[in-house]
Amino acid sequence: MTRPRHKARLQHPAAWWLWGLGLATAASRTTNPVLLLLVIGVCVLVVSERRDPATVNPLPAFLVIGAVVVAFRVVMTALLGNGIVGDTVVLTLPRVPLPDWAAAVRIGGTVTLESLLYAAYDALRLAAVLACLGAANALASPRRLLRYLPATLYDVGTAVVVGLTFAPQLLTDARDVRAARTLRGRDGRGLREMARLTVPVLETAFERSLGLAASMESRGYGRAVRSTTTSRRAATGLALAGLVGVLAGLYGLLDSSAGGVLGLPVLVLGAVLAGSSLLVGASRDHRSGHRRERWTWTETVTVLVGAVPAAVLVVASAQGWDGVVPSQQAQLPAVPLLAVLAVLVAATPAFFTPRPREVAP
């Protein structure tokens, strides 16, 4: 007798987004290309195994944007420089003479390997962060996450969700329009073809926007919420105090001369006050939920394994581990083994989390 298989389900969206934010935090604390490429590989692996097949995969678009960022940064560094002085000359470009008041800026001139490596490492960090956000977007649609936002942030969250889903949908529309033109025998390329694609893509986007606006209006979006003067003042005061506390705490953490010891407590206090303002605002705007997704042990473990690389890389950057911020030399930088293991731990959700539902062919 065979055991019954577990029912396929979608994991809680908050777990996937917290996992992605943990990986993004880890990527933001290092410029080691091996670690950053490993973070991108983990994102690709988890998305390929646990992506919801009923939705469009936005991760390739984020990867393309990251590759463009890296290429653009390297090209601009070769043309304009970045202040990094090196001994290994790659090539020498014709230099444009500039007046004395622009002596700190150069156009052309000597391009060194050290400056190019610095630009590539720094841009690769941004590409890895974009890959983490794209993976979270592919694993859990922002529309699903919107259901679990506090009522105070619901309208703001709706605007953010529409913005996040607009760009991937534009790519899908452009692909569909290009396929339709190809079927009609009009497979042109270049700027003229791009101009011909723009009108139908924008027309489709406008039609979708009007349909979304009508749908949201029929569901009561934009309605006035009844509230008392006391609750409004309490929510506003807590929000302002929390914002000031968060800004002061971040300033204290970034600048040790401004009281770095007090930075973390002030930051925590500001976050608590900001959270209290959300609770006060939510108390006057009640929202019901329909078929909310369960939070089980797989969601908890997913959040924890996403926090592991973030904690390890934060400690590593604070203590100055060798290889976390490598030097710009023409050799493979040192790779801290503990950081590699921490990033690999974040790939385990590809194996223990429930598989999403299958789409009928």
283-293 pLDDT per residue, tens: 655 555 556 67
Handedness of CA 272, 277, 282, 284 (dihedral sign): positive
pLDDT at 101: 72
Using 50, 70 and 90 to split pLDDT, how confident is the model at 87?
confident
* HEC assignment per residue over the chain: CCCCCCCCCCCCHHHHHHHHHHHHHHHHCCCCHHHHHHHHHHHHHHHHHHCCCCCCCCHHHHHHHHHHHHHHHHHHHHHHCCCCCCCCEEEEEEEECCCHHHCCCCEEEEEEHHHHHHHHHHHHHHHHHHHHHHHHHHHCCHHHHHCCCCHHHHHHHHHHHHHHHHHHHHHHHHHHHHHHHHHCCCCCCCHHHHHHHHHHHHHHHHHHHHHHHHHHHHCCCCCCCCCCHHHHHHHHHHHHHHHHHHHHHHHHHHCHHHCHHHHHHHHHHHHHHHHHHHHHHHCCCCCCCCCCCCCCHHHHHHHHHHHHHHHHHHHHHHHCCCCCCCCCCCCCCCCCHHHHHHHHHCCCHHHHCCCCCCCCC
Determine the distance from the C-alpha atom of residue 270 to the mean position of all C-alpha atoms in its chain, rounded to a whole number. Answer: 24
Pick the most confident of 31-40, 230-239, 322-331: 31-40
Mean pLDDT of the residues in the chain: 77
Average of per-residue pLDDT across 185-207:
71
Residue of higher predicted confidence among 84 and 313: 313
Residue of higher predicted confidence among 128 and 1: 128
pLDDT at 216: 63
Out of 168-177, 184-193, 220-229, 246-255, pick the least confident.
220-229
Contact 35, 320 (CB under 8 A): no
pLDDT at 338: 92
b/e string for 37-60 if b means 16 or more Cβ within 10 A? ebbbebbbbbbeebbbeebbbbbe
Out of 14-18, 147-151, 206-210, pick the least confident.
147-151
d(CA 49, CA 72): 31
Give the pair of three-digit tokens for residue 38: 């490993």
Asked whether the predicted pLDDT for residue 344 surpasses 50, the reply is: yes
pLDDT at 289: 56
Handedness of CA 5, 10, 13, 18 (dihedral sign): positive
Using 50, 70 and 90 to split pLDDT, how confident is the model at 1?
very low
Asked whether the predicted pLDDT for residue 295 surpasses 90, the reply is: no
Residue of higher predicted confidence among 299 and 143: 299
Using 50, 70 and 90 to split pLDDT, how confident is the model at 361?
very low
143-181 pLDDT per residue, tens: 777 666 665 665 666 666 666 556 666 777 777 777 877
Give the pair of three-digit tokens for residue 321: 């581990």
Using 50, 70 and 90 to split pLDDT, how confident is the model at 224?
low
65 contact partners, CB below 8 Å, separation of at least 6: 127, 130
Pick the most confident of 52-61, 183-192, 301-310, 311-320: 301-310
Say what percent of the chain tops pLDDT 90.
19
Placement of tokens 């290092």 in the chain:
30
pTM above threshold 0.95 = no
Using 50, 70 and 90 to split pLDDT, how confident is the model at 4?
very low
d(CA 117, CA 100): 29
Give the pair of three-digit tokens for residue 16: 């996937």
Asked whether the predicted pLDDT for residue 40 surpasses 70, the reply is: yes
Contact 54, 146 (CB under 8 A): no
